[in-house]
Amino acid sequence: MTGSTAVRRPPLLEREGELAVAEAAARAARDGTGSVLLVSGPPGAGKSALLRALPPLAQRERMTVLRAGGARLEREFTCGVIGQLLNPVLFSVSEPVRDSWLTGAAARVSARHGDGMPANGLIRRDIPHRQLLAGLDALLANISAERGPLLVLADDVHFADEPSLRWLAHLAQRVQHLPVLLVCSVREGDVLADEPLVRQLAEAATTTVRPRLLSAGAVLGLVNWRNGTEADEGFSAACLEVTGGNPMFLTAVLDDLAAEEIAPVAANRARVHAARPVRLRDWLLTCLRTQPKPVWEVAKAITVLGEHADLDLIGRLTGLDEVACELASRTLTRFGLLEAGTPRFAHALVRDALDESMTVEDRERAHVRAAEELHLGGRPAEQVAERLLGVLSVRLPWAAEALRSAADAAVRRGAPEDAVRYLRRLLLDDTLDDNDRAAAYVALATAEVGADRAASVRHVAQATALLSSPQDRAAALVRLSPALFADAPPDVRDQLDEVVTQLGAPGELRGGDRELALHLEARARHVGSADPAELMASAWRLRGFGPDPAVATPAERELLTVLLFATTKVAGSTAAEVGGLGARILRREPATPAHVHGVLPLLVDTLCAADSVAELAPWLDSAFEQCQDNGTTTERDLIDAERALVALNRGRLTEAGEIAHRVLAGPPPDWARTGTTMLVPLSLTAVTTRDGELIRRLLAEPPEEGTNVLVSAVLGLLRGTAAALHGDRESALAFTMDIGWQLERAGWRNPGLFSWRLFAATLQKRLGDTAAARELAEQERLRAHEWGAAAAIGRATRVAGDLTPGAAGLALLREAVDVLETSANRSELARSLVRLGQRLRETEPDEAGEHLGRAREVAADCGDPVAERWARRVGERRAGAGTLTRAERRVVELAADGATNQEIARSLEVSVRAVEKHLTNSYRKLGVRRRTELAGALRARNW
């Protein structure tokens, strides 16, 4: 092709039924029975594409194709559509043939060159319509007599000029007697489609077809065609959701995405939803602006009112009566722009196009009127607030209260992100006094806790600066969890210290002031948790409450939780003491999704370290169930992370790993939003299960370490484990020892939180330094005994026993099993049973078998596939070794020589029972079933 570029049109999908109808009509026309096929539907439904698919069908039926298309700007061009239909065929034949066609009545419509008559090509435009109709009928008859049956295609006939439209309506009335198939398309909902001549043409149609919206399968096919590759179903589903299956909308969106080189993968779903093709926007606006004014006004009103639109509100906003609103809505529905039966846009593309078409002033005026109508109509505050978000410069006396009420309602329904929007708009109101502005900042900070921790801290500081009363300032500060103050800027910490001093010590206060003081102390103590001296001070402060501290009020429980965690870090009390008090606190706290924004995650860590998790699992499960109904995604992920930690400390490693994978399945975590509440559990799960994929995801976009020792330790543990999994034990040991140095320097002494010494001991053993490994394990064991948690003692004792040879090591392994029988961590018990069974397999094979069998049962029950597999392999090696102990071999030799059990017992000076036991073990090892087979088994092994 020279001088032009072929148009690459998308394939015609899911139009087999419509094509079959057209094919049947074409066959009938070929046999002399003409008909009218009307293709009707909303804009973009694929009417024109269907008409473009018919010429190949006409070729199969040996029909001549005449085609034309109406255009809004050409409606005043007389006989324009007639010329499009007839001129190409007239100019395509020789002059003698053309002259033979333009004879008789047909000569009346012929325009000869040079005669000065107004013409459209060879068709005259200045004759009376009756002569025009008669002449065109004759011309069509002459052409069909020469060329055979005709397929007449007229696209968008509602845009046709009046003479052309009059002739098409006239042809439709008599086409059944002609070898002609007339196919016309009409856009439903367009005001021009209701013109009398268009209705007359539509009513004359023999058959009407309405192309359906594309299904999910067809959308996927079109996406694949457009991109030339297999698209993800998630990406295709987003395309269907955005366009509703409208072919024109879909093509425009795909072209827009292709121009930006957006790959058709599920990860780009958001880009599909954000697509706003300029070409489609301009087309939509042109369509709507050409409609009667009520249609345009109703469309703008729906844009402003959004999902809260109804005909009553639309009428009040536009000034239209009920009938006019109903007619305009019906037109928009027939256009395919509204959902059936509701004043809601079917596509976000339409709403955004209309919104962009409004000037800033028009948009603000519309939002003011909408807000006023909603407010006066007693609508919910959130509906009013949504409209106020679009109003910045207009002062409304009732707006502040509406925005505050809307924010409260959003928080109650579990949508803090909406509350944040309303409150930020409220803070733009310059009529607020200091107290009202401070209250707005506090409410904003509370709503932001789960989304933007840094902003939450900043807004509480702004509120505190506006207040003068120590009680008011304290009330503002306690809206932030103690955990948020740990990373707060210095000026916020200074504010905290100042208010603590102003309010006074808790012991000197009563009632509400005492509660505020306790809350403030919890925050001050947590801020100081990075200092070892402050940690010890917190441990002593906890002791000052006595053996049975009060847990009646939220402030008491909050402070005790902070002090318990500090005490756990330094092992300042025993696990039993910490676990008992922690359980008392937990029983008084409601299990809600919002707990993740307070100090209760510290209590989860404390109880896990104390091996006291029995009540935690159902408590967290309850919170998670509530979160499914009215919690945020962040809250759900944080609770899931806590559940993973509890599962880990119950020895349910498979369950913990599944939860961790679920949490990390989406985009990388927003560590600024979740803090260490998510990082620590997921990291410990990855390290304990040795899950390389989890470790890779966590290290792909890690949080900034800064001065936070906990973050540094966790990341070092992940990097050390990753190095060990890749066989780089030297680097793994370096990472681990560095972790230990950081934790010791920060005052973290508790082996229940991080058992880094045991990891280092295992690495040193594999590197050949058994003495250093044993020393680290023994240090861990001593600290574990001081702490007193069964899981920590059992774990450390097992590793120490593994590193200690002979009877001393065996005794340690037995001790580990005995201790872990009382622990909630069943995985640790299973692994200790395996080690004990492995150590006993040569000297006490029966006992070893019992331990290994139980290890398999415990590991299978708690979901530790590594321990289960380990136990099975050790058992298999023991059963199939065929190696007899010295005592067993002596018994077998005497038995093979024919000695009885009594004779063997007397000869070896042992009991008959011992002889029977040795023989039983020997039968199994040698693979024999009776005494007479012993001699052959010995010979086979050259014994």
Could you tell me the pLDDT band of residue 881, with boundaries at 50, 70 and 90? very low
- Region of 376 (left: φ > 0; alpha: ψ -120 to 50; beta: rest) is alpha
Statement to judge: residues 220 and 132 lie in one domain: no
Beta bridge partners of 155: 69
For the cut 50, the answer to whether the pLDDT of residue 1 exceeds it is: no
Domain boundary among 275, 290, 311: 275
Q: Which of 226, 219, 221 is nearest to 258 (CA)?
A: 226
For the cut 60, the answer to whether the pLDDT of residue 852 exceeds it is: yes
Could you tell me the pLDDT band of residue 925, with boundaries at 50, 70 and 90? confident
Residue 325 in any domain: the answer is no
Statement to judge: residues 110 and 255 lie in one domain: no
Distance CA 86, CA 109 (A): 11
For the cut 70, the answer to whether the pLDDT of residue 942 exceeds it is: no
Distance CA 407, CA 439 (A): 12
The pLDDT value given to residue 114: 46
Most confident of 48-62, 719-733, 878-892: 719-733
Q: 249 lies in which domain range?
A: 216-275
Percentage of the chain lying above the pLDDT 70 cut: 96
Tens-place pLDDT, residues 123-141: 877 788 888 888 898 999 9
Distance CA 892, CA 900 (A): 11
Tens-place pLDDT, residues 148-186: 899 999 999 999 999 999 999 999 998 888 899 999 999
For the cut 80, the answer to whether the pLDDT of residue 576 exceeds it is: yes
Domain boundary among 164, 193, 209: 209
Domain boundary among 166, 191, 209: 209
Tens-place pLDDT, residues 52-73: 999 988 888 889 999 999 888 8
For the cut 70, the answer to whether the pLDDT of residue 119 exceeds it is: no
Statement to judge: residues 143 and 252 lie in one domain: no
Tens-place pLDDT, residues 200-209: 999 999 999 9
Q: Do 128 and 154 meet the contact criterion of CB atoms below 8 Å apart?
A: no
Mean pLDDT of 914-925: 82
Tens-place pLDDT, residues 306-315: 777 888 888 8
Tens-place pLDDT, residues 88-101: 988 888 888 888 89
Mean pLDDT of 349-362: 81
Would you call 151 helix, strand, or coil by DSSP? strand
Statement to judge: residues 111 and 250 lie in one domain: no
Statement to judge: residues 35 and 141 lie in one domain: yes
Mean pLDDT of 687-709: 88
Distance CA 798, CA 762 (A): 12
Distance CA 528, CA 563 (A): 11
Mean pLDDT of 355-370: 81
Q: Do 836 and 799 meet the contact criterion of CB atoms below 8 Å apart?
A: no
Statement to judge: residues 72 and 90 lie in one domain: yes
The pLDDT value given to residue 304: 83
Mean pLDDT of 289-313: 83
Residue 468 in any domain: the answer is no
Mean pLDDT of 607-629: 92
For the cut 80, the answer to whether the pLDDT of residue 875 exceeds it is: no
For the cut 50, the answer to whether the pLDDT of residue 456 exceeds it is: yes
Statement to judge: residues 181 and 51 lie in one domain: yes
Q: Which residues of 151-183 are buried (b: 16+ CB within 10 A; e: fewer)?
A: bbbbbbbbbbbebbbbbbbbbbeebbebbbbbb
Residue 547 in any domain: the answer is no
Specify the DSSP element, H or E, that contains 185.
strand 180-187
Residue 64: DSSP 8-state: E
Lowest mean pLDDT segment, chosen from 35-49, 468-482, 864-878:
864-878
Distance CA 277, CA 256 (A): 6
How many domains is the chain built from? 3
Residue 267 in any domain: the answer is yes
Percentage of the chain lying above the pLDDT 90 cut: 35
For the cut 70, the answer to whether the pLDDT of residue 940 exceeds it is: no
Statement to judge: residues 50 and 187 lie in one domain: yes
Neighbours of 587 (CB within 10 A): 10
Statement to judge: residues 113 and 204 lie in one domain: yes
The pLDDT value given to residue 808: 93
Could you tell me the pLDDT band of residue 258, with boundaries at 50, 70 and 90? confident
Mean pLDDT of 700-718: 86
- In this structure, what CATH number is given to the domain that contains residue 112? 3.40.50.300
Statement to judge: residues 169 and 266 lie in one domain: no
The radius of gyration computed from the CA coordinates of the chain, to the nearest angstrom, equals 42
Residue 271 in any domain: the answer is yes
User: In whole angstroms, what separates CA 795 from the centre of its chain?
Assistant: 38
- In this structure, what CATH number is given to the domain that contains residue 933? 1.10.10.10
Statement to judge: residues 267 and 181 lie in one domain: no
Lowest mean pLDDT segment, chosen from 359-363, 823-827, 864-868:
359-363
Residue 88 in any domain: the answer is yes
For the cut 90, the answer to whether the pLDDT of residue 487 exceeds it is: no
Statement to judge: residues 152 and 246 lie in one domain: no
For the cut 90, the answer to whether the pLDDT of residue 7 exceeds it is: no
Mean pLDDT of 676-682: 88
Tens-place pLDDT, residues 413-425: 878 888 899 999 8
Mean pLDDT of the chain: 87
Distance CA 928, CA 937 (A): 8
Could you tell me the pLDDT band of residue 882, with boundaries at 50, 70 and 90? low
Residue 112 in any domain: the answer is yes
Residue 194 in any domain: the answer is yes
Tens-place pLDDT, residues 752-779: 988 999 999 999 998 999 999 999 999 9
Q: Do 829 and 821 meet the contact criterion of CB atoms below 8 Å apart?
A: yes
